[in-house]
Structure formats: structure tokens, C-alpha cells
């Protein structure tokens, strides 16, 4: 009989066990995409959201064997913004045993109550920029590098433990190199001419710290009211994300739309898929992980559509037709055959944009919620 015991992660050895546990759990799963261990350690110990978030980590062990892990968090900025008393859980992984899940989630819930919370939801990251949503459909597919993967039984466990659906995010797979319909091109031309719009250079923008800061402020503003559970990035988070993401953004697969005063109107950001490269890297850049990633960043056959948005004053004016046309034309040039959309809340009408393209369902993710 197993002898499950839960332990708080409070030293370096336990932290590395926490980070590496999925490597063993998903060893024989061809769809699982491991994160770089160094990135995970940083995310759990010294990222900008931890300036205001409180968090705890736990492992469940059966003797010397790790059987599960979980992180519980409280984001006071989220609670203040939405008038809630909610904790969140993330980094949730366990073997196929309901008792392990019960021990993990029960411990997270007890800690959340100690923090004065009356609800808990997840899986989520500290803020809206990280991995979130438990996979409920699309297990046969390999996820983008910034998305979670999990076994189907995770959903059975959380529902058995009293969690219900809060929201779902949808992802689609599109044919990327067929361009856009003629109607979309006509709309794009009319919108550009009416508002005197033109495209800027992301390569030039990312060299200017002030412009990068403005780009992320537009990101904050564009999703503040339209994205469920959205928490705007702080200045420190913006600087951190810019340092992490901007070096990899190029004009090859992304675009920046500007008005006549060179102010940011809208943007479409996509990356070459690095999921298979991360599988080969097995959590480490060395000795050869860096080489696999470098090769992947030069291969645009499959791209991940990371984020698309428009400044609030430009929403509902047809500007999406302009930057989608541009990105579709670029896809032909760079040899991009398939594009995977970023998760979008199913209730957001913006998901209807994919109806203009040849597409198919790719993945569905769910945020679960429980009163505690």
C-alpha cells in the first residue's frame, strides 16, 4: 500500500524535484513538451509577479518517490481588480491516483483559507501571461511551448474533488499559406486608406526601450476589458517580459500597425514552433538543447500565434483585417504551412476571426473553480 506524505518545498533539492517531476511522469507521452528547468526555477523563485504574489509549493511523496506536485498562489492585484477572495493553483501534476490529487488540492485549499480566501481556481499562473488552463480536448496534439499539457484523468480528479468549470479557452489549427479571402483584402484596403494606417518595424521597435514599454502598455489596454481574469502587467513585469520575449520577435512572422502619427494601432505576434525542439532538449539547454532550439527558430513551417490585439480606441474598426492580411502574406514568403492560435476565451467574439480561414479545432482548455 502506498504511504503518501505531503511536504512543503523549502530547499533547493526539493525545488529541483518539483521541477523535474513531470519529466518522469510524462516520459512515455509523445505529446508532452517539457519546459526548460532553468526557466521553471526562475518562475518559482525570482520573477516579477512574486513582488506582489504570495505562493507555496508542495510535493507528495510515497517513500522516496515523488507522486505529485502543486503550487498555490494569491494574487492581490487580481482580487482587488475583480472584488474577489480567490487563490489560484498551478504546476499541478500527479500520478493516476485520486488520493494524491486529494492531498495536493486539499493542502492548497487549506493554505488558501489561511490567507483569507473563499475560492480557488486554476490551473493558472501568477498573472495572465503564463501557462493556464487544464487540457480537456486535443490530447493527440502537441501543444505550443507556452501551453500546458496534461493527462485526461486530471479532469476526472478535480471534478471528483468538487471543482466546476469557470471558463474554457479554445485553440485552432489553421492553414497558413492560403492567404485571406478577397473580401478581407478589400476590407483591409478600405480600412488602411480611411485611417491612414501603415506598418512599422518590430526590429526597430525592440531596440528602443521606451517604444517597447509603450507596446506592452497597448497590450495591457487592449485586453483589460475583453479577456476574462486579465491582470495588467506592472512596469517591472513589462521589463522582464520584454527582456525575455522581444529578442525572438522578428518582422518575418509578426507585424506592427501604426497610424499617421506612428502610434501603435494593432499588432500580430507569432513565433516558429519550438515544441519539438523542447522535447529534444529534455529540459536543458546543454549539451545540445540550445542547438535544437536555434534550428527551430529558423523553421517557420509551423508557427504559434502568440498574441494579436488592438488599442482600445481602434477596436471594432476593422483593423484586424489589415494585420491578418499582412501576416497571411508573410506566411507564404517564409514557408509557413500551419498556424496554431493562442488560447482564447470561448465567449470572446474574437474567436470568430478564424472562420475566415481553413481551420480545425486543436485544443480546449479549462479553468476550474471551487468554493472553499
CATH value at residue 194: 3.40.630
Q: How many folded domains does the chain comprise?
A: 2
pLDDT of residue 61: 98
Domain end among 126, 149, 169:
169
Is residue 354's pLDDT more than 90? no
Cell of 315: 477596436
Q: Is residue 189 part of a domain?
A: yes
Domain end among 115, 134, 169:
169
Tell me 96's DSSP state. Answer: S
Q: Is residue 371 part of a domain?
A: no
**Same domain for 92 and 47:** yes
**Same domain for 131 and 64:** yes
Q: Which domain holds residue 63?
A: 4-169
Task: With beta carbons less than 8 A apart as the criterion, state whether 71 and 101 touch.
Answer: no
Helix axis angle for 12-25 and 37-45, nearest 10°, is: 130
What is the average per-residue pLDDT within 254-281?
Answer: 95
Task: With beta carbons less than 8 A apart as the criterion, state whether 315 and 148 touch.
Answer: no
C-alpha 259 chain-centroid distance: 29
Q: Is residue 353 part of a domain?
A: no
Nearest to 273 by CA among 342, 205, 201: 342
Tell me 201's DSSP state. Answer: -
User: Tens digits of per-residue pLDDT, 137-188?
Assistant: 999 999 999 999 999 999 999 999 999 999 999 999 999 988 888 888 999 9
**Same domain for 131 and 208:** no
**Same domain for 330 and 189:** yes
Task: With beta carbons less than 8 A apart as the criterion, state whether 74 and 117 touch.
Answer: yes
Q: Is residue 27 part of a domain?
A: yes
The whole-angstrom separation of Cα 76 and Cα 57 is 18
The whole-angstrom separation of Cα 370 and Cα 113 is 12
Q: Is residue 11 part of a domain?
A: yes
- Cis amide linkage into residue 359, ω under 30° from 0: no
3-state secondary structure of 338: strand
The whole-angstrom separation of Cα 127 and Cα 233 is 8
Task: With beta carbons less than 8 A apart as the criterion, state whether 164 and 370 touch.
Answer: yes
CATH value at residue 8: 3.40.630.30
**Same domain for 186 and 161:** no
**Same domain for 329 and 181:** yes
The whole-angstrom separation of Cα 276 and Cα 206 is 27
The whole-angstrom separation of Cα 154 and Cα 239 is 35
Q: Is residue 264 part of a domain?
A: yes
DSSP 203-258: HHHTT-HHHHHHHHHHHHHHHTTTSTT--PPPHHHHHHHHHHHGGG--TTT-EEEE
Task: With beta carbons less than 8 A apart as the criterion, state whether 49 and 244 touch.
Answer: no
Task: With beta carbons less than 8 A apart as the criterion, state whether 60 and 117 touch.
Answer: no
User: Tens digits of per-residue pLDDT, 288-336?
Assistant: 999 999 999 999 999 999 988 899 999 889 898 899 899 999 999 999 9
**Same domain for 181 and 41:** no
pLDDT of residue 122: 97
- pLDDT bin (cut points 50, 70, 90) of residue 352 is low
pLDDT of residue 2: 93
Is residue 360's pLDDT more than 90? yes
Domain end among 150, 169, 188:
169
Task: With beta carbons less than 8 A apart as the criterion, state whether 141 and 362 touch.
Answer: yes
The whole-angstrom separation of Cα 153 and Cα 148 is 15
The whole-angstrom separation of Cα 333 and Cα 202 is 17
**Same domain for 190 and 84:** no
**Same domain for 217 and 134:** no
Q: Is residue 363 part of a domain?
A: no
Count of C-beta atoms within a 10 Å radius of residue 325: 21
User: Tens digits of per-residue pLDDT, 85-126?
Assistant: 999 999 999 999 999 999 999 999 999 999 999 999 999 999
Is residue 357's pLDDT more than 80? no
Nearest to 264 by CA among 311, 323, 216, 195: 311
**Same domain for 209 and 130:** no
The whole-model pTM stands at 0.94
**Same domain for 148 and 124:** yes
Location of C-alpha cell 525572438: 248
Q: Is residue 80 part of a domain?
A: yes
Measured in residues, the chain has a length of 372
**Same domain for 89 and 224:** no
3-state secondary structure of 14: helix
Amino acid at each position: 500500500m502506498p504511504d503518501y506524505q505531503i511536504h512543503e518545498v523549502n530547499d533547493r533539492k526539493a525545488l529541483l524535484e518539483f521541477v523535474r517531476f513531470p519529466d518522469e511522469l510524462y516520459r512515455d507521452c509523445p505529446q508532452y513538451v517539457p519546459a526548460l528547468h532553468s526557466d521553471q526555477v526562475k518562475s518559482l523563485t525570482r520573477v516579477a509577479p512574486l513582488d506582489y504574489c504570495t505562493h507555496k509549493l508542495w510535493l507528495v511523496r510515497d517513500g522516496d518517490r515523488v507522486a505529485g506536485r502543486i503550487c498555490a498562489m494569491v494574487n492581490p492585484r487580481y482580487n482587488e481588480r475583480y472584488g474577489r477572495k480567490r487563490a489560484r493553483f498551478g504546476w499541478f501534476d500527479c500520478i493516476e491516483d485520486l488520493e494524491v490529487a486529494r492531498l495536493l488540492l486539499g493542502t492548497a485549499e487549506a493554505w488558501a483559507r489561511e490567507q483569507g480566501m473563499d475560492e480557488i481556481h486554476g490551473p493558472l499562473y501568477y498573472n495572465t501571461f503564463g501557462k493556464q488552463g487544464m487540457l480537456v480536448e486535443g490530447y493527440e496534439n502537441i501543444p505550443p511551448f507556452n501551453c500546458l499539457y496534461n493527462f485526461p484523468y486530471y479532469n476526472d480528479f478535480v471534478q471528483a474533488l468538487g471543482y466546476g468549470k469557470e471558463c474554457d479557452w479554445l485553440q485552432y489549427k489553421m492553414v497558413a499559406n492560403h492567404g485571406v479571402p478577397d473580401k478581407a483584402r478589400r476590407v483591409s484596403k478600405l480600412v488602411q486608406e480611411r485611417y491612414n494606417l501603415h506598418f512599422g518595424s518590430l526590429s526597430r521597435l525592440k531596440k528602443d526601450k521606451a517604444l517597447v514599454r509603450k507596446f506592452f502598455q497597448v497590450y495591457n489596454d487592449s485586453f483589460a476589458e475583453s479577456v476574462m481574469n486579465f491582470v495588467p502587467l506592472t512596469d517591472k513585469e513589462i521589463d522582464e517580459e520584454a527582456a525575455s520575449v522581444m529578442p525572438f520577435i522578428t518582422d518575418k512572422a509578426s507585424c506592427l500597425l501604426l497610424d499617421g502619427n506612428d502610434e501603435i494601432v494593432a499588432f500580430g505576434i507569432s513565433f516558429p514552433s519550438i515544441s519539438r525542439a523542447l522535447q529534444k532538449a529534455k529540459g536543458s539547454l546543454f549539451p545540445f538543447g540550445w542547438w535544437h532550439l536555434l534550428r527551430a527558430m529558423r523553421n517557420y513551417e509551423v508557427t504559434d500565434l502568440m498574441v494579436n490585439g488592438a488599442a482600445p480606441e481602434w477596436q471594432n474598426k476593422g483593423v484586424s483585417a489589415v494585420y491578418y492580411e499582412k501576416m497571411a502574406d508573410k506566411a507564404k514568403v517564409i514557408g509557413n504551412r500551419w498556424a496554431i492560435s493562442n488560447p482564447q476565451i470561448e465567449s470572446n467574439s474574437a474567436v470568430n476571426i478564424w472562420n475566415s480561414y481553413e481551420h480545425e479545432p486543436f485544443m480546449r482548455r479549462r479553468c476550474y473553480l471551487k468554493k472553499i
